[in-house]
């Protein structure tokens, strides 16, 4: 595969630096590395980026693949969405939980999340992690471990503890994929459900784009997120409930700050699939944003070596983002892009993006029609 070839030729450090991939090592087995793209910074046009979606490599063994869930797949209607063979396509429920991969290593079964090889990512507000929650639910459901150790198995963990929008009625571990890690071939989940008795993701008798989009429009977003379409070649696209996407993006009420966050997080392509009326405004604001970041970086390079703090403050006082430059000078952040993770910075950027009266009036006009 392309990602494995890249690692063998160029190494992990170059991959991380070039494509902004997050690399997380296993706490018990530091030779195992989980790769996950950055929604904000990674170029999704690159195959090696799309393949970096929870895949785990053994760097001590010539980058052997240890676990491999799915490549990134896109919303139906997005520019990079896969072409689906509708004659063979199946329509599955898109579950609103945490993707977890069960894989075999060092003589025992391990579990990974999409961002960590050992599932050690914290659950906000709780004193246990995703792996601990996974095994707790596994035991509650009295699931049996598989005997086919050359496969990894991809589940959705659905509980009240990792709830996103859909309100779960019970704890669930739902199988929706499996892959042979030797030849990388995927297989239908039904094969493994029949063998091990696990819950399989629900399927629906929908046969074409029109039917699926019509059905998605009728979904209750508190009950289900949408659909995943998968054909016999295992090409996939997502079709989300527009109401679900609305809740996801518009929590707390839509405003220019929310649109700013969508721009910063590089989530615009999905957002515009469901809300095309924002397209022109989004593009205008993104153009300003794309010019703003190098401007901030250039001003930091210009003023960072001013020796006296008072002189530094006077030099940047008329800029619309002095707090970012002060944070850089004080060592609180290492780069302008790191600052983009902070809520106060989002508000600063929002003010800059909507300073133009025409942008403000466009936002008001759209909101007045909704």
Confidence grade of residue 370 (pLDDT, cut at 50, 70, 90):
very low
Of residues 251 and 317, more confidence is placed in: 317
Give pLDDT, residue 249. 64
pLDDT mean over 156-170: 91
Per-residue confidence at 363, pLDDT binned at 50, 70, 90? low
Strand partners, 369: none
Mark out the alpha helices in the chain (DSSP H runs). 2-10, 12-19, 47-50, 130-140, 189-196, 209-217, 242-250, 256-264, 268-274, 279-303, 309-316, 322-329, 336-339, 343-353, 357-368
pLDDT in tens, 201-226: 999 999 999 999 999 989 988 889 99
Reading the block at residue 358, the tokens are: 């025409």
pLDDT interval class at 339 (50, 70, 90) = confident
The pLDDT of residue 69 is 98
- Residue 351: the pLDDT is 83
Question: What CA–CA distance (Å, rounded) separates 92 from 200?
Answer: 10
Q: State the average pLDDT over residues 342-361.
A: 77
Task: Please give the structure tokens belonging to residue 249.
Answer: 């993006």
| Residue 38 CB neighbour total at 10 angstroms | 16
Q: Give the pLDDT of residue 47.
A: 98
Q: What percent of the chain has pLDDT over 70?
A: 95
pLDDT grade, residue 163 (50/70/90)? confident
Indicate whether 243 pLDDT > 90.
Answer: no
Query: Can you give 90-107 as a three-state secondary structure string?
Result: EEEEECCCEEEEEEEECC
Q: Which of 25-29, 67-71, 252-256, 294-298 has the lowest mean pLDDT?
A: 252-256
User: Which of 67-76, 96-105, 351-360 has the weakest average pLDDT?
Assistant: 351-360
- Predicted confidence (pLDDT) at residue 200 exceeds the cutoff of 80: yes
Please write the tens of the pLDDT for every residue from 78-109. Answer: 889 999 999 999 999 999 999 999 999 999 99
Least confident of 56-70, 94-108, 255-269: 255-269
Mean pLDDT of the chain: 91
- Mean pLDDT along residues 118-146: 94
Sheet holding 64-67, edge to edge: 22-25, 32-36, 53-58, 64-67
pLDDT, position 124: 78
Lowest mean per-residue pLDDT among 212-216, 241-245, 342-346: 342-346
72 versus 251: which is more confidently predicted? 72
Spatial neighbors of 10 by CB under 8 A, at least 6 apart, are: none
Domain ranges of the chain: 2-67, 90-241, 256-368
pLDDT value at 184 more than 90: yes
pLDDT at 266: 85
CATH of domain 90-241: 3.30.470.30
Average of per-residue pLDDT across 275-282:
84
pLDDT at 360 over 90: no
In terms of pLDDT, which residue wins out, 97 or 367? Answer: 97
Does pLDDT of 150 surpass 90? yes
Per residue in 39-48, pLDDT (tens digit) is 878 999 999 9
Per-residue pLDDT band at 253 (split at 50, 70, 90): low
Question: Which pLDDT score, from 0 to 100, does residue 213 have?
Answer: 92
Given this model, what pLDDT does residue 277 score?
Answer: 80
Tell me the HSE value of 146 on the side-chain side, using a 13 A CA sphere.
Answer: 22
Q: Tell whether the model's pLDDT for residue 64 goes beyond 70.
A: yes
Within 10 angstroms of residue 331's Cβ, the number of other Cβ atoms is 7
Contact (Cβ atoms closer than 8 angstroms) between residue 346 and residue 253: no
**Interhelix angle for 279-303 vs 322-329, to 10°?**
40
């Amino acid at each position: 595969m392309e990602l494995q070839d890249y690692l063998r030729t160029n190494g992990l450090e170059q991959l991380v630096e070039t494509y902004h991939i997050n690399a997380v090592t296993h706490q018990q087995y530091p030779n195992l590395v989980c790769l996950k793209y950055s929604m904000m910074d990674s170029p999704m046009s690159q195959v090696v980026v799309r393949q970096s979606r929870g895949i785990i490599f053994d760097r001590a063994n010539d980058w052997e693949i240890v676990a491999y869930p799915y490549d990134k797949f896109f919303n139906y209607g997005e520019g990079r969405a896969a072409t689906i063979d509708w004659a063979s396509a199946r329509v599955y429920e898109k579950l609103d939980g945490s993707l977890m991969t069960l894989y075999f290593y060092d003589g025992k079964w391990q579990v990974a999340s999409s961002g960590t090889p050992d599932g050690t990512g914290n659950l906000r507000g709780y004193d246990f992690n995703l792996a601990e929650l996974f095994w707790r639910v596994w035991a509650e459901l009295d699931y049996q471990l598989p005997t086919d150790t050359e496969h990894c198995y991809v589940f959705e963990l659905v509980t009240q503890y990792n709830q996103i929008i859909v309100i779960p009625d019970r704890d669930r571990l739902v199988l929706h994929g499996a892959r042979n890690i030797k030849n990388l071939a995927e297989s239908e989940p039904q094969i493994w459900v029949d063998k091990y008795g696990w819950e399989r993701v629900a399927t629906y008798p929908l046969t074409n784009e029109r039917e699926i989009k019509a059905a998605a429009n009728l979904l209750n977003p508190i009950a289900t997120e949408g659909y995943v379409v998968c054909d016999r070649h295992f090409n996939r696209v997502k079709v989300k409930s527009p109401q679900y996407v609305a809740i996801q993006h518009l929590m707390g009420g839509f405003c220019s700050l929310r649109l700013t966050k969508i721009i910063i997080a590089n989530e615009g392509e999905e957002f515009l699939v469901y809300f095309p009326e924002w397209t022109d405004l989004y593009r205008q604001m993104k153009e300003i944003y794309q010019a703003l970041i190098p401007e901030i970086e250039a001003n930091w390079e210009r003023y960072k070596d001013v020796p006296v703090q008072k002189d530094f403050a006077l030099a940047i006082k008329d800029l619309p983002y002095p707090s970012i430059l002060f944070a850089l000078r004080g060592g609180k952040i290492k780069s302008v892009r790191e600052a983009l993770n902070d809520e106060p910075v989002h508000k600063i950027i929002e003010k800059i993006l909507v300073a133009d009266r025409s942008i403000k009036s466009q936002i008001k006009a759209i909101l007045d029609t909704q």
